[in-house]
Amino acid sequence: MNANTATPAELQAAFAAAGLANPAQWAREVNEYRPYPTDDPTFAKLRGELVKYNPDQATIDGIIATLRFSAMSAPTSVSVDQFSSVLRRGLVWLAVLTTVGIAVELAVERHWTQPVQLIAWGAVAIMVVALAMLLPAPTGVRVRTARILAAVVVLTSAVGIWEHVAANYDAGPLDFHYTGVWDNLPEVSRWWLAVTKTVGPSPPLAPGALAQAGLSVLLATIGHPALRGRTESFPAVGQAEGDTRKPQQQPAPAGVRQGRATHDVV
């Protein structure tokens, strides 16, 4: 019985079924002092209100026992935690695939002929370290380190975008369409041609893939359970993220239990 959402009639019926005296009056009192904190399994607030009426301890325990198992919004919180875990790991693996794709593209393009081009490889290496911090069961220190490294990669991506745009700008006079008119174009027009890669060989948005990987890691660390001293793991069915307790085993069918007992006797 959910203490925060059950109707007075439902509360009354539950209290009557539990054998409590005056179930209608107790239902009105429980309803009057709602809502109750869902993070307090002891129902301290409700207990404090009930003692004002000087009931015996058995009555208080009976009311709390009727509400205990469903007053907490556990199914909802478990569902949210499980979704958060899946989303977080999805962002991490998106960053992994993006990083692998960038590395392959850099290798295919032989992106190492000039010293400035090695910056991209450095960013890929930093991204690999950041991801290595998150893929196993990370600690709070590792999550914070991954954040810092991801932020560095995002900044490096911004530098890469600028370098590509600047390279296109410098190459503008070499394009035969603009050789004779480049110097006469407005500054805004020349930069627009460079940004849109109308002139020059460098794709300005290519380094943006690094920013995508870095932002994915940054988003994956928001609200990470390791920052609260918990270890992230794939939650079992009916088990919240970060809950390291073993899932409860379902009791064996009666026939199986009886068979085991017979075997033990023999």
Rg (CA), the chain: 31
State pLDDT tens for residues 218-263. 998 888 887 776 555 444 444 444 444 444 444 444 444 444 444 4
pLDDT band at 151 (very low <50, low <70, confident <90, very high): very high
The domain ranges of the chain are 10-72, 78-228
DSSP line for 123-191: HHHHHHHHHHHHSSS--HHHHHHHHHHHHHHHHHHHHHHHHHHHHHHHTGGGSTTTTTTGGGS-HHHHH
pLDDT band at 68 (very low <50, low <70, confident <90, very high): low
Cβ pair 154, 98 in contact under 8 A: no
Percent of the chain whose predicted confidence (pLDDT) is above 90: 12
State pLDDT tens for residues 29-55. 888 888 888 788 788 888 888 888 888
Does residue 83 register a pLDDT over 90? no
72 or 103, greater pLDDT: 103
